[in-house]
């Protein structure tokens, strides 16, 4: 069986063509994109090093459905690559303090970190990442049950989007978060059962640039506070409220 040419071979072919069809140009665009964005599922062992070596210019890496992060492969990758700005580690069974310190040390230029549905997630580790990776703008911690962000008591000035859906964040923690992350543009609190109108008021008061907040499933947030919240924060453009609430 004849093997299909790899990406480098296709690019060499395209370089020698004087004119490219729209389809060919689109194909070249796809091959280039694959060099910068990579998703790995259920893969461990020696294959990882060769895969990371194959994509030396990655800016986005998505790891999912593995027991733990592949530290050896990522360490080798990070020693030569400083371009990674987006990292997703979803459905990771074990992501402890050591792993979080490793992420922060290897990828200090991260702007987007997605840790949705990671179990045994270290709060100390999250705080270390936010201290070390000072350019993070998007942080997704949705589905990390039991998480309260109790270690975030310092300024995170560049954080713009924070997703805390299905976590154990309560009003007290929201107050501290709103003081630490004053530049938030979007906050997602879907199904945060411990959040009440008091916590939402803290956010509206302290996050002066807030444009969007989602309260879907927050049954302890009452309808009569929605109007005053909108009035108190002129920048607020969108509120996704619990299904039984009416904004009329």
pLDDT digits 0-9 by tens, 4-14: 445 556 455 54
Domain 38-240 belongs to what architecture?
A: Alpha-Beta Horseshoe (3.80)
Tokens of 171: 């009003």
15-24, 61-70, 149-158: range with lowest mean pLDDT: 15-24
Q: Tell me what pLDDT residue 92 has.
A: 85
Q: Tell me what pLDDT residue 63 has.
A: 85
Continuous segment of H or E residues that includes residue 187: strand 186-188
Q: Tell me what pLDDT residue 23 has.
A: 45
**Residue 31 pLDDT exceeds 90:** no
pLDDT digits 0-9 by tens, 172-208: 999 999 999 999 999 999 999 999 999 999 999 999 9
Q: Tell me what pLDDT residue 10 has.
A: 47
DSSP state of 19: S
CB 111 within 8 A of CB 86: yes
For 141, phi then psi, to 5°, come to: -120, 20
Alpha helices by DSSP H, 92-210: 97-106, 123-132, 171-180, 197-206
pLDDT (average), residues 50-58: 71
* In 31-176, beta strands by DSSP E: 37-41, 60-64, 86-90, 112-114, 138-140, 161-163
- Give which of 72, 74, 122 is closest to 97, Cα–Cα: 122
Tokens of 232: 């108190």
Helix/strand/coil percent split, the chain, to 5: 35, 15, 50
Which has more pLDDT, 240 or 114?
A: 114
pLDDT confidence band for 104 (50 / 70 / 90): very high
Distance (Å, rounded) from C-alpha 217 to C-alpha 161? Answer: 19
**Residue 38 pLDDT exceeds 90:** no
**Residue 2 pLDDT exceeds 50:** no
30-34, 130-134, 227-231: range with lowest mean pLDDT: 30-34
DSSP state of 42: S
pLDDT (average), residues 213-229: 86
For the chain, what is the radius of gyration of the CA atoms?
21
For 81, phi then psi, to 5°, come to: -120, 130
Q: Tell me what pLDDT residue 52 has.
A: 65
Distance (Å, rounded) from C-alpha 216 to C-alpha 203? Answer: 16
Q: What are the residue boundaries of the structural domains of the chain, listed by start?
A: 1-34, 38-240
Q: Tell me what pLDDT residue 232 has.
A: 85
Phi-psi domain of 100 (left: phi exceeds 0; alpha: psi -120 through 50; beta: other): alpha
Three-class DSSP category at 39: strand
pLDDT mean across residues, the chain: 81
Q: Tell me what pLDDT residue 143 has.
A: 93
CB-hemisphere CA count at 13 Å for 22?
0
pLDDT digits 0-9 by tens, 135-170: 999 999 999 988 888 889 899 999 999 999 999 999
Distance (Å, rounded) from C-alpha 227 to C-alpha 201? Answer: 11
């Amino acid at each position: 069986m004849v093997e299909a040419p790899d990406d480098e071979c296709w690019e060499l072919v395209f370089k020698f063509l004087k004119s490219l069809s729209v389809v060919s140009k689109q194909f070249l665009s796809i091959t280039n994109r694959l060099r910068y964005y990579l998703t790995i599922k259920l893969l461990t062992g020696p294959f990882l090093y060769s895969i990371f070596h194959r994509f030396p210019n990655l800016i986005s890496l998505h790891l999912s459905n593995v027991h733990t992060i592949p530290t050896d492969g990522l360490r080798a990758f990070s020693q030569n690559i400083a371009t990674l700005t987006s990292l997703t580690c979803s459905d990771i069974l074990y992501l402890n303090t050591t792993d979080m310190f490793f992420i922060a040390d290897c990828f200090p230029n991260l702007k987007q970190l997605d840790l949705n549905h990671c179990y045994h997630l270290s709060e100390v580790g999250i705080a270390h990442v936010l201290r070390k990776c000072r350019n993070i703008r998007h942080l997704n911690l949705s589905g990390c049950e039991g998480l309260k962000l109790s270690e975030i008591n310092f300024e995170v000035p560049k954080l713009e989007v924070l997703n805390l859906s299905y976590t154990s964040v309560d009003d007290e923690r929201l107050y501290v978060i709103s003081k630490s992350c004053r530049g938030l543009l979007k906050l997602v609190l879907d199904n945060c059962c411990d959040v009440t109108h008091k916590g939402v008021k803290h956010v509206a008061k302290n996050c002066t640039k807030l444009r969007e907040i989602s309260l879907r499933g927050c049954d302890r947030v009452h309808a009569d506070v929605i109007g005053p919240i909108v009035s108190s924060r002129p920048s607020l453009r969108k509120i996704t409220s619990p299904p039984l609430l009416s904004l009329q």
